Structure 1
Amino acid sequence: MLTMEKDLETRLANDHHQAIRLWLRMLTCTNRITSKIRSRLRENFKTTLPRFDLLAQLERHPEGLKMSELSKRMMVTTGNITGITDQLEAEGLVRREVDKSDRRSFVVKLTPEGQRLFGEMAAVHEGWVIELFEGLSSEEKETLYALLGKLKQHLNEKEAR
């Protein structure tokens, strides 16, 4: 007999509103995918998802980002960003430079070694994500993407009011 892994949906009853069921299904899928990615990053690269995310932010911004901007983008405290940056700097993956426009703050940039390592990790990460979504056809992925885009637009509009 197969046993289902306990997840957020196990607390649902048939009389729960459709929106609650959908929200918990999305949350369960997100948590399961995130857990798998975290585990694979740890096993394959001896790193964490927050470290990967910080490197990804810097890769998108070769001019560098202030610590406060990294904090906003990653939705964590500046203290968390400082800790992660300290580790990555000690490993030679990022460097801090004094911000030319505000000498009281620093801009964090990838080093050449950070660029190389992140490029390697990002390619493997992309493969993992593709693999995790293999259970859906191309058409189903497009439909899901469009529907989630519609939900995102609705949420953005509600927030703007």
Structure 2
Amino acid sequence: MQEVDGREEDPAMGGAAELDMESRLTDEHHQSLRLWLRMLSCTTRIENEIRSRLRTTFDITLPRFDLMAQLQRHPDGLRMGELSKRMMVTGGNITGITDQLEREQLVVRVQDVNDRRASAVKLTPAGRAAFDEMAAVHERWIEEMLADVAAEDKATMIALLSTMKRSLRVDDGV
């Protein structure tokens, strides 16, 4: 692939522009829109590849992996509402994912000691071991996918995106 006028083109395919979010842009579009769609295209490509690899290698979906990642960071467990907030999905989605993981004995629901009406979700020892293995492989995949980006460029992008993230903060604490 090579970049021509901000769009990627594949010389092996006769120079045809790759179809993704950016393919609808013209030179008249604002730079901010071009940046947004470039970031979205990169994110989507990485996410799609990770989804595929998780499914093929571990027979798990990305949402299930993400829920387990949240629980890995909180060994005492999290309430369903907190998981919903952290993952930015509905409570119904969290319930469905939790039900699946519970059937596989990777998570367990435990009664909240502070509120008997509520429960928290925790990784089981088997869930913790499974997640540790998946997380290590996941990290290698990300390293592999970004291997062609120089370390200095990664550091620059992290700094620039940190600045952008700070400028995008809204009142709800995002």
Q: Pick the TM interval, shorter chain.
A: over 0.9
Q: Tell whether 2:171 aligns with 1:160.
A: yes
Instruction: State the SS of the aligned residue for 2:70.
Output: helix
Code of the residue aligned with 2:149 in structure 1: it is L
Distance 2:159 2:60 in 1: 32
C-alpha RMSD of the superposition = 1.1
- Alignment check: 8 A CA contact 2:17 2:23 kept: no
Residue range with higher mean Cα deviation, 4-13 or 58-67: 4-13
TM superposition score normalised by structure 2: 0.89
- 1:107-140 superposed Cα distances (whole Å, 9 cap, x missing partner): 0000000000000000000001111111210000
Counterpart of 1:81 in structure 2 is 94
Counterpart of 1:35 in structure 2 is 48
Code of the residue aligned with 1:23 in structure 2: it is W
Structure 1 gap ranges (5+): none
Counterpart of 1:96 in structure 2 is 109
Code of the residue aligned with 1:140 in structure 2: it is D
Distance 2:50 2:70 in 1: 17
Distance 1:74 1:115 in 2: 19
Code of the residue aligned with 1:28 in structure 2: it is S
Greater relative contact order, per chain length (Cα 8 Å cut-off, separation 6+)? 1
Structure 2 gap ranges (5+): 1-11
Instruction: State the SS of the aligned residue for 1:104.
Output: strand
> C-alpha displacement at 1:5, in angstroms?
3.4
Distance 2:122 2:28 in 1: 51
| Counterpart pick for 2:62 among 32, 49, 59 | 49
Query: What count of residue pairs does the alignment treat as equivalent?
Result: 159
TM superposition score normalised by structure 1: 0.96
| Dislocated runs of 4+, deviation >4 Å | none
